[in-house]
Amino acid sequence: MPRHRGLNLKRFIFNIPFDLFQQYFSQGTVESDPNTTMFADVKAMESWLDASENREAAGVVLEEWGRIFDICVNGGVHVFRAYERSNLLCDQDRPIDELAMRLFLEDQDAFEYAWSYYLLHASQARVSQYRFPAGDLVPQPDQVKAMERFLSGMFEQQKKGAACRVRVNRDQAGVIILVSRGAYMRTVMQWQGTRVVFRTFRPAVEDVMTYEPDAERLNIRPGFNRDRALYVHAIARFLAEDEELADRALSDRVFSLERFQNGTFSYKGNDVIRRVALREAHLQLPALGEPTLVIKSDDVARTLADDLQGVRLSMGDLRRVRLLFEIQMSAKGKPEPVVFEIEPPGFSDLSLKRHNDIIEAYLRTQGVKLV
């Protein structure tokens, strides 16, 4: 069965009406148009996708259908969220696959909005946070185009290819930015009949950023270090029209782990936070080769106090921690665990967790969250 990411072709074809497949191919997405009667026959569709003469068209189809299927299986809430800002009627009695395909075909901007949030939440990469007091941003089309041209030129200079597309959406939470671009050229080995051939291509990379005006926070996920700094400068220059914002954002520390090292962090919690535990600590030791000691435990602080009394977090540079917060919003029921990582100056996945506002407030009082 042809698969892209988690594409289940049988389910996909079964849940989508025949007329939407006709609409998909009639829009000129691919040059090769299969016999539309095959949409009732999964094996016939598989044969068309596997045929050597359809290789390029099948690649496009599997890429697009894979995106649609991914968001159905793992991010259906974002599809419904996108329908709320679209003019399309959302019949929630219909399969989510059908709703996502219709959104893809009839409101591409709304689909890109849903896809941006899906990438933001589905990625396992941590978020880099920056203090970014830019007020209430209302990006205009000419600003977005200028930012796209700037990034395209910078990526071309870095030999990453000039292909770059920037999509910006605004909602009640703030601004979400999706940058789709080329990556470094890559060569892979493939079978072609009985021969081995080498194919060179430039895979797509998608980076997602969100700006939250109420928190004055810019989140970038994922991106390389150099690219993150480039994005901060581009957003400050073209969307906020204040280049000095970038320099301040890149120099400010968002997190500090000093309280864990000097023993002044309180694990007691409060009325809502029933329990706090340090689950993991990465301690870089002042020795040749800069070795890193990784300590994992249900409660690292207790383990160090009771069983590893010769080891202290103040022995080196504490680089990263993993924390468990147990949140209890009502007297009934069990506390809800929230586990997240922090790595100064600005890395964390906390902003995408439930109850992040409660936890951030606690971290501020403890001197861990600085902005």
pLDDT of residue 222: 66
What are 158-216's pLDDT values in tens digits? 877 778 889 999 998 899 999 988 765 555 555 555 666 555 545 578 889 999 999 89
What are 104-154's pLDDT values in tens digits? 999 989 999 999 988 888 776 778 999 999 999 999 999 999 999 999 999
How much of the chain exceeds pLDDT 90, in percent? Answer: 52
For residue 4, pLDDT beyond 50: no
Q: Cis bond leading into 222, ω under 30°?
A: yes
pTM of the model: 0.77
Distance between CA atoms of 328 and 341, rounded to whole angstroms?
A: 20
Angle value at C-alpha 65, between 60 and 69, nearest 5 degrees: 155
Chain centre to alpha carbon of residue 302: 34
Answer whether 132's CB lies under 8 Å from 215's CB: no
What are 16-55's pLDDT values in tens digits? 888 888 888 887 666 555 665 666 677 878 887 777 777 7
Q: How confident is the model at residue 358 (pLDDT cuts 50, 70, 90)?
A: very high
The alpha-carbon radius of gyration of the chain (Å, integer) is: 24
pLDDT of residue 121: 81
For residue 157, pLDDT beyond 60: yes
Q: Which residues on adjacent β-strands are paired with residue 326?
A: 275, 337
Instruction: Please give the torsion angle defined by the CA atoms of residues 238, 242, 244 and 246, in that order, rounded to the nearest 10 degrees.
Output: -40
Per DSSP, the three-state class of 350 is helix
Indicate the pairing of strand 195-201 with strand 204-212. Answer: unpaired
pLDDT of residue 196: 62
Handedness of CA 236, 179, 124, 226 (dihedral sign): negative
Distance between CA atoms of 14 and 367, rounded to whole angstroms?
A: 54
Q: Which of 83-87, 182-186, 234-238 has the highest mean pLDDT?
A: 234-238
What are 292-330's pLDDT values in tens digits? 999 999 999 999 998 888 889 999 999 999 999 999 988
Q: Cis bond leading into 345, ω under 30°?
A: yes
Range with the lowest mean pLDDT among 76-80, 125-129, 367-371? Answer: 125-129
pLDDT of residue 42: 78
Place of tokens 């468990």: 324
- Between residues 254 and 352, the one the model is more confident about: 254
Alpha helical stretches, state H, the chain: 9-15, 18-26, 42-50, 55-74, 76-84, 96-106, 108-122, 141-157, 225-234, 244-251, 258-262, 300-306, 356-365
Distance between CA atoms of 48 and 55, rounded to whole angstroms?
A: 9
pLDDT of residue 26: 80
For residue 1, pLDDT beyond 50: no
pLDDT of residue 24: 86
For residue 278, pLDDT beyond 90: yes
Q: Find all residues with CB under 8 Å of 170, minimum gap 6, and list them.
A: 137, 138, 139, 176
What φ, ψ does residue 54 adopt, rounded to 5°? -105, 15
For residue 3, pLDDT beyond 60: no
Distance between CA atoms of 61 and 58, rounded to whole angstroms?
A: 5
